Structure 1
């Protein structure tokens, strides 16, 4: 059983007498948040397969399950639209979010980062007919490019291109390439490989990645005392081979 300090003042209801209300609030303020093996922690994510799957067999699913299990808790990953997944974690509707860049707490102050990267997230160029060395974002200047609307990283970084098309889904993205309506599709490596494994398309990706960012697990601040345990759990998983087993089972096999 784990005890976490916390305040439940917002859940307190006033009574008809001022003294009764005051005492109730004081008691609530000092009640600890108690979690045990029966507590189910929900961690949101805005990424679908191969990261989050309905049967909890995706990369993020298994990382979350194993990290919290080592802290003595049960946890699951919940797939939501990207922005909603952050809002739910920040407001406490859910208990955390995986996986995001460092510094997220500046915009979402109720989230606490767990030290230790979950993954190096590679963004790559997918193409049907082009073959060139990807040096930086300026390398894209001669080409008609496309990416999924709402991907903030691409909106910020992709400033050099012949033309730009925004789409709503990965299917639309790769259909643009298939139909020769775009030269380049920007996407993350693993999601792109997952899509190509399930669809017939003469599309390949170029290396090196155009960008790579470290992503982390965040928990709502009500669970901030779990952070050292979770960070230690992730480090142990990397040391004892559990992390590699999960990575090979869910991601690296897509390269074969």
Structure 2
């Protein structure tokens, strides 16, 4: 673990030697539509205030740990309120993207009526997917490092359910060519998502918040 941190620190430091600031931003999923859109918005917002960004794919919990330590500069998107658990993180106050949590199943078709309706089933949850982790405590949960692992377990009936945002989950089903897997509605939960920065970059907070708001509101006109 310490070797990983050292290597990341060297890479990040080497990208910040120029005059223009470059931030390292953690992403915890692959190039699904939600992540691609989020990266596009965030990159453009930072460009408008003269800051470059580069994205580093990391497992969810490790990403939070490294960002909290200041090895990584920020998080692409997370649910609100994580600064209570990770005190070195600052939540950018403007939510620039939204997401929801839904259930994907193969053979266990049932009526989704909130988190408690999942209790009888075997569930795959990605490590670091905080809203799912917190709402399935005490359930039969298998933690996975990537959505791909969860859907592969679902395909061979090692779990009954995968919890994921709809566009992310469906993109993995399509990419892996999985048959017979479907998304159940309504969503378990809908949430605004936020960008986070390490506190050493707190001076950027008002600028990036305004830039994100300007981008999203202008795009919706």
- TM-score norm. by structure 2 comes to 0.77
1:49 pairs with 2:31: yes
Q: For residues 97 and 204 of structure 1, what CA distance do their matches in structure 2 show?
A: 29
Counterpart secondary structure, 1:105: helix
Q: Which residue of 2 aligns with 1:179?
A: 156
Q: Which residue of 1 aligns with 2:174?
A: 197
- Alpha-carbon shift at residue 215 of structure 1 (Å): 1.7
Q: Which runs of 5+ in 2 are unaligned?
A: 1-16
Match of 1:207 among 185, 190, 196: 185
Aligned length: 204
Q: For residues 73 and 113 of structure 2, what CA distance do their matches in structure 1 show?
A: 39
Counterpart secondary structure, 2:53: strand
Q: For residues 127 and 52 of structure 1, what CA distance do their matches in structure 2 show?
A: 21
- Alpha-carbon shift at residue 165 of structure 1 (Å): 4.1
Higher gyration radius (CA):
1
1:91 pairs with 2:81: no
1:235 pairs with 2:199: no
- Highest relative contact order (Cα 8 Å, sep 6+), 1 or 2? 2
Kept in 2: contact 1:52–1:77 (CA 8 A): no
Give RMSD over aligned pairs.
2.9
Q: Which residue of 2 aligns with 1:5?
A: none
Q: For residues 123 and 73 of structure 2, what CA distance do their matches in structure 1 show?
A: 37
1:129 pairs with 2:111: no
Q: Deviations over 1:142-164 (max 9, x none)?
A: 43433345544333312586x55
- 1:42–1:176 CA distance, 2 compared to 1 (3 A): closer
Q: Which residue of 2 aligns with 1:20?
A: none
Q: Which runs of 5+ in 1 are unaligned?
A: 1-34, 245-256
Q: Deviations over 1:92-140 (max 9, x none)?
A: 2232222122222223222221111132221111012343331212222
- TM-score norm. by structure 1 comes to 0.68
Q: For residues 83 and 204 of structure 2, what CA distance do their matches in structure 1 show?
A: 17
Q: For residues 93 and 149 of structure 1, what CA distance do their matches in structure 2 show?
A: 20
- 1:195–1:37 CA distance, 2 compared to 1 (3 A): same
